[in-house]
Structure 1
């Protein structure tokens, strides 16, 4: 599903607003963070796709991040089926965006951002120095990890899993194998500051149905991550 011209322009304008906050003074950054925390309390994570629903969050919303990276797979043989071996993503802070727009506008923006940013190479996104909240990766034991620096650290396990909407963005420029599932993950032990995360509004990331060669496969994806304590 391709975004309309007006939607793309809205996303671009909002991203430029985010860029303008990068050079704020320390006092301004602290004030922006405080304002953003107040605004966050008015947002509700989407948990329902059709008849399927993720568990309802019970904690306090700490942050919303835009994840941009790759879903990683491997093929043992050229004729096999790709097997998931985790993911790796930068988590960009969207909180500063929300204090300057209405809740309705913010909700529309959050829903649009993953498919919009998926169309940019990660290196280009990094070059623009969008504020990074943290990083998502898998440890050597295959556990999903979320490192948000001073905000918290989550060692996670999956407790909810539903398919993305049928019209979710399939891949870069709308070409791909589909959007990865929406997830609910909770503390698996050893976490600090964060006890739960939701991966929603996914764009891209699904593996091809069959392998064409032995070895790793990286599939570009983007998603919203909602973090709770």
Structure 2
């Protein structure tokens, strides 16, 4: 059974807090929803880095309440080109979902063909700016949690969802960061540059699988009228298909997680 978004985020928090130091800057953190003016989940007076890092600026705002100019992207094994001149980092999210593949089951020598991905995106912008050592652990942790269910707008965790990533066709990734709670933007992209994942990247769920998908730089497919101009997929965890279609169905999914760094004009 798939976890709800609330359960997914609570499980992610529990996993990280177990290994994370304690941050005393807030007496409580109300970033996962309020009911009648009260946070639905109130930790102790000492809040974890994850709680601190996932805060939102408030209704109607289009930027996290932290200085993203201080955030530095991880460097790929084969370094990816820098963002274009004039762009600024506007959002960082953890994506958790599946990489999708097809196989020609009538061809004994067929190999899996990628046909896109589907992922829920969760805001970690302030973690990227303020606790990057924690951010680097989140894709691996998220990979070992079940994929969140589809939108549940009654869930308090809904306001922590940045949006969704999916494909419009086999080669056009789309990022939709517009929800009923915020209008961050959306955009169509095309693959621009790639790097193999690090050799020590996790193989898959519970470190069992075929390795982590490539790190990517995606550029806007049509930059006119689109706020988002560049997206980087970094620190990937899982997602690779087997090298052969032997024994595979005509269509299948492989679990993955990653960081997405979104740059805007």
- Distance verdict in 2 for CA 1:12–1:207, change over 3 Å: farther
Partner of 2:235: 201
Choose 1 or 2 for highest CA Rg: 2
Structure 1 runs (4+) greater than 4 angstroms displaced: 11-14, 17-20, 31-35, 96-99, 124-128
Return the offset for 1:139.
0.6
Deviation at 1:169, TM superposition (A): 1.2
* Partner residue, 2:253: 218
Counterpart position of 2:42: none
Q: More relative contact order in 1 or in 2 (CA 8 Å, sep 6+)?
A: 1
* Partner in structure 2 of residue 3 of structure 1: none
Q: Number of aligned residue pairs: give it.
A: 214
The 1:156–1:8 alpha-carbon spacing in structure 2 relative to 1, beyond 3 Å, is same
> 1:56 aligns to what?
82
CA contact (8 A) 1:75 1:216 kept: yes
Quote the residue 2:33 is aligned against: 23
1:129 aligns with 2:157: yes
User: In the alignment, does 2:145 pair up with 1:120?
Assistant: yes
Instruction: Identify which of 12, 18, 22 aligns with 1:9.
Output: 18
The answer for unaligned runs of 5 or more in structure 1 is 1-5
RMSD of Structure 2 on Structure 1 (CA): 3.2
Contact 1:153 1:191 in 2 (8 A): no
Do the aligned residues in 2 keep the contact of 1:11 with 1:113 (CA within 8 Å)? no
CA deviations over 1:113-145 (Å, ceiling 9, x no partner):
000010000137987836110111111363111
Q: Report the counterpart of residue 145 of structure 1 in structure 2.
A: 174
Q: Give the whole-Å Cα distance in 2 for the aligned partners of 1:56 and 1:98.
A: 17
Instruction: Provide the C-alpha distance between the structure 2 equivalents of 1:57 and 1:34, rounded to a whole number of angstroms.
Output: 20
Q: Which has the higher helix share?
A: 1
CA distance, structure 2, for counterparts of residue 45 and residue 223 of structure 1 = 13
C-alpha deviation, 1:192, in angstroms: 2.0
| TM-score relative to the length of structure 2 | 0.71
CA contact (8 A) 1:115 1:222 kept: yes
Indicate how the Cα distance of structure 1 residues 82 and 226 shifts in structure 2: closer, same or farther if over 3 A, else same.
same
Q: Secondary structure at the match of 2:73?
A: coil
CA contact (8 A) 1:47 1:55 kept: no
State the alpha-carbon separation in 1 of the partners of residues 145 and 22 from structure 2: 15
Using the TM superposition, give the Cα deviation of residue 214 of structure 1 relative to its aligned residue in structure 2, in angstroms.
Answer: 3.7
